[in-house]
Amino acid sequence: MISLSLTSSSDVVGVAVGSVDEVLAFEQVTTQRRHAEEITPLISLVAAKAGVELKQIEGLIVDVGPGRFTGLRVGVSTAIGLAAGLNINVKPVTSLQILAFVGLSETENASGFACVVDARRGEVFQQLFDSACNPISDPLTGDPVELNLLTKDYLVIGDGADNYPDHYQSNVIKGVAPRADLMLRAAENVDAISVDKLRPNYLREPDAVANIKSRQNESK
C-alpha cells in the first residue's frame, strides 16, 4: 500500500511517500510560522520525487500532536482535505510516538524512550515507550522538573528536553523533531479512521482559550 504521511506539529513540516518496507521520497523544512505555506508545495514535491500521483495514494498518515496548535491545525486540516478528496481513511499517529521511532532509528540499545514535547507556559508533554516503541504510560502534561523524575534509564528525545536543559541533562538526543518518513513505520499497527473522526490531540486547551478564560476570571 502506498501511503502519504504528514507532520507539522513542531517547527518542522515533513512529508513522505512510501510503505512500511520502503520510503519512496521524503522531504522536510524548518519553519516558525509558515506551516500552511509550506505543506502543500511539499506534498507536490514529494509525490513528484516518488513518481506517484495523488490519486494513487491508498493510505494517509497524519501527526495529530501534541505540539504547536497552529501547526497541528494545518496538518490535520490538510489531511482532512486530502482524505475526503481521495475517499480514503486516515491513520492518526501522535507526535510522542513518532519521536519514539526517531529514537529507535538513532540507537540500537535503548531500554526505552521518554518522548518530551514543549507545551510552553513552563510545561511539557511527556510519554514513556518501551524499546519497541510501545507506550508504557499515558501522555502527561506538567512541570518538566517533576516529569523528568520519570525518565531515569530512558533515552530522552524531543524539543521539550532541548528547551529545558537544566532538567533533562542525561541520556538526551538533542535537536530532534517528528519525521514523516518514520511515520510510515510508526503507523503500521494503527487503525485507520474515517476522516470525520480525525481531530488534533492537543492534550491541553490552546493558549488563546486559556488566556480568554484567565481574563474572564480576573474580571469577576
Rounded to the nearest integer, the mean pLDDT of the chain is: 92
What CATH number is associated with residue 164?
Answer: 3.30.420.40
pLDDT for res 29: 97
Are 36 and 104 in the same domain?
no
Give residue 151's identity as a one-letter amino acid code: T
Quickly state the pLDDT bin for 32 (edges 50, 70, 90). confident
Are 144 and 119 in the same domain?
yes
Are 13 and 107 in the same domain?
no
Q: Is 27 exposed, middle or buried (0-12, 13-18, 19+ CB in 10 A)?
A: middle
Are 43 and 83 in the same domain?
yes
C-alpha cell at 123: 510545561
- Do residues 42 and 17 lie in contact, with contact meaning Cβ atoms separated by under 8 Å? no
- Do residues 98 and 213 lie in contact, with contact meaning Cβ atoms separated by under 8 Å? no
pLDDT for res 206: 58
Residues 6+ apart with CB under 8 A from 45: 15, 27
Are 18 and 36 in the same domain?
yes
- Do residues 4 and 70 lie in contact, with contact meaning Cβ atoms separated by under 8 Å? no
pTM for this model (two decimals) = 0.92
Domain count, the chain: 2
Are 88 and 10 in the same domain?
yes
| Secondary structure class of 123 (helix, strand, coil) | strand
Query: What pLDDT digit, counting tens, does each position of 134-162 carry?
Result: 999 999 999 999 999 999 989 999 999 99
CA distance 121 to 95: 19
Q: Is the dihedral of CA 58, 190, 12, 85 positive or negative?
A: positive
Query: What pLDDT digit, counting tens, does each position of 118-132 carry?
Result: 999 999 999 999 999
Are 27 and 91 in the same domain?
yes
Residue ranges making up the domain that contains 147: 96-173
Are 76 and 31 in the same domain?
yes
Going from the C-alpha of 58 to that of each of 35, 85, 88, 179, 193, the distances in angstroms are 24, 12, 7, 20, 13
**Closest CA relative to residue 55, chosen from 86, 99, 79:** 86
If one counts every other C-beta atom within 10 angstroms of the C-beta of residue 208, the result is 9
For 188, phi then psi, to 5°, come to -55, -45
Query: What pLDDT digit, counting tens, does each position of 105-115 carry?
Result: 998 889 999 99
| Secondary structure class of 112 (helix, strand, coil) | strand
pLDDT for res 217: 41
Are 25 and 105 in the same domain?
no
